[in-house]
Structure 1
Amino acid sequence: MPPRPGVRRVLPLLLGWEELPKSVSVHGAPRDERVREPVPGILLECEDGWLLLDTGFNTALLRDPALRRRFYPSPSYQPELPGPGEPLEEALAAVGVALGEVTAVAVSHLHADHAGGLKHFAGRVPVHIQRAELAYGLSGRPEVERNTIFRVDFDDPRIDWRQADGDTEIAPGVTAVLTAGHTPGHQSFVVDLAGGGGYVFAFDAADLTENITGEHPVGAAIGVPPEATVAPIRRLKHLARERGYELVPGHDPAVWPELIGRLTGR
């Protein structure tokens, strides 16, 4: 029997931190309760090379004082970079992969903590996204930037967009699943491992474990009421349950470091 097509290795990455009100992640949480959440990336070794899910912050917008004041004016939201260099390069080097070895990218959505590193891949590799997400990001509507989607991160004619309309397989063993609500075209990912088993990565369809276990709506949604974000959570729970896969929340400060240690030995 031929080997099952699928992902050979899953390497979770830490691309930064962000301190913010918990109510951003959990609708109805007390406004004065704050959390320090990890910024995730996931590197997948596929049959055709390394696929990167999400890219972290645009470091220029954080390190240049004028740009930081321009794009991150609120003291209630404070992004942090994990080291002195480019987070993607440092995180990839830590698992023995060079930036130039990445052969494809997929972004869950266009928020600044997920799409800011696309500058590294413009003109180099295909980038998978939901059509509705890119259309919203490029719409020119004034609220887009207020929603922490910065056009400077992704409005580059050199980017080779691969746009999907709903669920689609983007590599053998990797399926993008439309989980709109947090943003108009947010996508999560189902990862089938070649040796059996797998993962469902929620990204911002469910920031924290309590979003999943308690089916609590996420606190930040675009164009829909917070209650509409529960249906994507339930769908991801169903996908994970029927496959027997682990469902991983996107920004949980306990889950993410543990997953990194378990899968990378770091």
Structure 2
Amino acid sequence: MYGILIEHPHEGLILWETGSGDDYPVHSGPVINDIFPRIEYKPENRLEVAIAATGNRIEDVKKVIIGHLHADHSGGLDLFFNRPDVEIWVHDLELRSAFWSVATGADIGVYRPNYLQFSLNWKTFDDRSIDFCQGITLHHLPGHTEVERRYSPRMAGP
């Protein structure tokens, strides 16, 4: 579980995913904790502390890119609540699937329902790829989330 900080010369600080957040074991509950290894956070593991170790502050992050919205990839989104200046980028199908999964309870165990906030500055793309900014292209690479399985060209045909 990781977050990668990108220092872009024109866009400023871009964060690729937010890791699981420091309360992941509490949020995920006993069933998920039995499947995945228990995570112990030390103060230096907190996202804002790790960013500070680079000489930056969490407040300096301008954009966040989320590959998919499972809790182990988006658990630090709470640090961007009430930050409408920060764009949260995710593929359109992934955002729709996450909200649907939580609203219907279909796959609620892997998402953090309280993190799917309307107040976050969600930005989406719906093509297979997008020139995100100079030097960075985002690609939709189907993987293991429900939407990725459902809409994967391998599953749906050419």
TM bucket, shorter chain:
0.7 to 0.9
Q: Which is richer in helix? A: 2
1:181 deviates by 3.1
Indicate how the Cα distance of structure 1 residues 172 and 108 shifts in structure 2: closer, same or farther if over 3 A, else same: same
Greater radius of gyration (CA): 1
2:10 matches 1:51? no
Q: Which one of 160, 175, 197 corresponds to residue 137 of structure 2? A: 175
Structure 2 unpaired stretches of 5+: none
Matched-pair identity in %: 27
Q: Which one of 41, 55, 62 corresponds to residue 3 of structure 2? A: 41
Structure 1 unpaired stretches of 5+: 1-38, 63-67, 187-221, 230-266
1:50 deviates by 0.4
What TM-score results when the alignment is normalised by the length of structure 2?
0.80
Q: Could you tell me which residue of structure 2 aligns to residue 118 of structure 1?
A: 77
What TM-score results when the alignment is normalised by the length of structure 1?
0.50
1:175 deviates by 1.1
Q: Could you tell me which residue of structure 1 aligns to residue 92 of structure 2?
A: 131
Once the two structures are superposed, the pairs formed by residues 196-215 of structure 1 within 5 Å of their partners are: none
2:48 matches 1:89? yes
Number of matched residues?
Answer: 146
CA contact (8 A) 2:64 2:88 kept: yes
Distance 2:147 2:81 in 1: 21
| 1:6-52 deviation digits (Å, cap 9, x = unpaired) | xxxxxxxxxxxxxxxxxxxxxxxxxxxxxxxxx12111111120000
SS of residue paired to 1:128: strand
SS of residue paired to 1:123: coil
Once the two structures are superposed, the pairs formed by residues 218-233 of structure 1 within 5 Å of their partners are: 222-223=149-150, 228=154
Indicate how the Cα distance of structure 1 residues 152 and 58 shifts in structure 2: closer, same or farther if over 3 A, else same: farther
Q: Which is richer in strand? A: 1
CA contact (8 A) 2:21 2:46 kept: no
Q: Which residue identity is paired with 2:16?
A: L
Name the Cα RMSD after superposition.
2.4
